[in-house]
A and B are shown apart, each in its own frame.
Chain A
Amino acid sequence: MVKLQELPTEEMFAPGHRMCAGCGAAIICRMTLKAIRGPTIVVSATGCAEVATTIYPYTSWRTSWVHIAFENAAAVAAGIEAAYKAIARKGAWDKQVDIIALAGDGGTFDIGIQALSGALERGHDFLYICYDNEAYMNTGIQRSGATPHGAATTTSPAGTKIPGKPEWKKDLAAICIAHGIEYVATASPAYWNDYITKVRKGIEVNGPAVIHVLSPCPLGWRHNSEDSIKLARLAVQTRYFPIYEIEKGKYKLNIRVYKPLPVEEFIKAQGRFSHLFKPEFAKEVEAIQHRIDENWSRILQLCGES
């Protein structure tokens, strides 16, 4: 845990990028770079945080930064890690270099899952951060495997027959921990201390680490730009997005929510769920609340709490 005053003043994420006003991902990029400890290489997948921060000839990154394609941030990170290992072994480099792969939910949950799984299984030393804005936001708000049940996206619109996305969100932490890696965590940018501490922990792990961080999107979630942090907090306070970590197989709940707010508080503030408040879709909100409660019990049990 750190104090705000102790965080480095130097901005490794420079202003002048074209991310939307109030973008959760921009906050996450900036916070991530507050946690680095030395020479760092950021490997970015195609997505909002890549496209809007590196429009030729402008770049917001003051660390080494590379973008290759959409689905392979983990594979590229693996290649870079191997190259540095080889170079170090041949005596041409003797410093610590940290590799952070940064991808959205698009480049992680769906098209990127193969590369991530392979890299985790092979045990490369890198930190993988998935900033989750719960849809393919960069290409125009299409649904992803991370889009929650009931959310309206352009490929799962709020229709008269089908109200938003019928499927439920994939559990990324569960997928990652199934690979037996040393560190997996969820986070929310509203809890900056928790997030920055986790990023540093992930960097320090000798091997793969994954952080799944929720990233509010004013445009895609249809909320006011000033509410991004408020929503990132509400997501946790309604138990919609539980914050926990799994270190060497042991689950630990980081943010206890003793008196949860009903999920309505979270979803009523976002336009992407507004159709759920129509009388014919009332059951959907119930179902969502039910799932949240079930999931919370499951997480509590895993964390050894009651």
Chain B
Amino acid sequence: MAKIVGLAGDEAVAYAVKQCNVDVVAAYPITPQTIIVELFSRYVHDGEVNSEYICVESEHSAMSACVGSSLTGARVFTATASQGLALMHEMLYIASGLRCPIVMAVANRTLSAPINIHGDHSDMMGSRDCGWIQIYVENAQEAYDWTIQAFKIAEDMDILLPVSVNLDGFILSHSLEGVKTLEDEEVMRFLPPRKSVYSIDPEKPITVGALCLTDYYFEFKRQQEEAMRNVSRIVKKVNEEYEALTGEEYGILETFEIEDADVGILCLGSTAGTARQVARKLREQGKKVGVVKLWLYRPFPTEEIVAAIENLKALVVLDRACSFGAPYGALCSDTVSALHQFDKKLNISNMVYGLGGRDITPSNVESMFNEALEIAKTGVVKEPIKFVGVRE
């Protein structure tokens, strides 16, 4: 029976991990992820979980220990943010290269310099090519639900790739919400014990992490890409199973009033909530606006995105990270590429916002929609990429 518990985003993640019968957690604290590791430590010290918790001495060692554990066949979790994610960068590629189904929560926080502890997507965007499956959540409920689903997705035998569940630092990590939680047994039934293709079993000695020279490396990378191509199908399957259990509908992306919209906003994370609220208000005024919120960012759901936006007259793509020197921000780049693959053209305005936790207000979003409507009317994109909310 569903129970509603008041949980902040970080707490929701820790609680989900507790229920998922994780074997090993190796993590290093960093604001704003600290609540996850603190709460989990409390579960361990109170004997509420049967997991090993390694208080590692750095994030690099956190991911190293996680990879080691995962290779034995254990179910493994970690969490980090910002500088910590940057520090474990080399290990992210190794985790995906060795096909470890690790689940990691990232309480998205911006990257130094200058140092800033607040939320934006620079950290995970800086590692978007590392071969991890990447999911962005809008609120604590989604953080809870996606963490549980993440294990099932990662551990699927056709995937065996690590998953990062991204939640906006402070905005989600530290904000209290009423979260509908499952019973422990329900999660246990949803998540059977992990199976492995290969594991470090001293009774069946294998070599893991060999040197693969020019004559072999390429093949293993192609295998990884193939696993990525299976993700979309399996995410949908896991979502269906989860819906049967909880009644919560999930998918690759979520749209709001996009079917007949003239213009839309495409974004990740908590901003989608603000966008939806503004869209509701503008719809009452007769403006045909819609919102597309992407849950699954990697692998980029090319087909689904194009299907959602192809009939729009203009689209604003919001990037909460700056890809310095690039023609567009990360999300916008991927969107434009997706459209190109399907031979579609669309007037797109990329808006970089919210860096370093700069607040995005409903009036910001309203002006974004209005700009989109202007583009739809004139057919001209005056500024392909804009910075919204920065003082000139």
Contacts and interface: CB of A to CB of B under 8 A. Distances in A.
- Chains A and B are bound partners: yes
A185 B50 CA distance: 35
A39 B202 contact: yes
B124 to A, nearest CB: 21
Interface stretch (A78-86, A147-155, A188-196): A78-86
Interface in A37-71: 39-41, 43-44, 50-51, 54-57, 59, 61-69, 71
Given A54-B209, A64-B205, A90 B23 contact: yes
Nearest to A78: B65
Given A79-B26, A82-B24, A83-B23, A51 B68 contact: no
Given A63-B205, A82-B24, A122-B55, A56 B211 contact: yes
Contacts, number: 149
Contacts of A59: 207, 210
A253 to B, nearest CB: 33
A87 interface: yes
A83 to B, nearest CB: 4
Nearest to B55: A122
* Residue among B61, B65, B209 with most chain A CB within 10 A: B65
B40 to A, nearest CB: 14
* Residue among A59, A62, A77 with most chain B CB within 10 A: A59
Contacts of A68: 64, 67-68, 91, 94, 98, 209
Interface stretch (B69-77, B348-356, B368-376): B69-77
B74 A122 contact: no
Nearest to B207: A59
Nearest to A58: B210
A63 B202 contact: yes
Interface in B218-256: none
A75 B78 CA distance: 14
A77 B211 contact: no
B193 to A, nearest CB: 8
A69 B213 CA distance: 16
A55 B210 contact: yes
A61 B207 contact: yes
* Residue among A51, A77, A84, A97 with most chain B CB within 10 A: A84
A117 interface: yes
A77 B64 CA distance: 9
B57 A80 contact: no
Given A41-B200, A75-B65, A79-B70, 14 more contacts: A54-B211, A64-B202, A66-B71, A67-B208, A76-B67, A80-B69, A82-B52, A83-B23, A83-B68, A87-B74, A90-B23, A118-B61, A121-B57, A122-B54
Interface of B: 23-24, 26, 50-52, 54-58, 60-61, 64-74, 76, 90-91, 94, 98, 200-213, 216
| 4 residue pairs, one from A and one from B, having the closest CB atoms | A79-B68, A79-B65, A118-B57, A39-B202
12 contacts: A40-B202, A50-B209, A54-B210, A69-B64, A76-B64, A76-B68, A79-B24, A82-B69, A83-B76, A86-B52, A87-B23, A118-B56
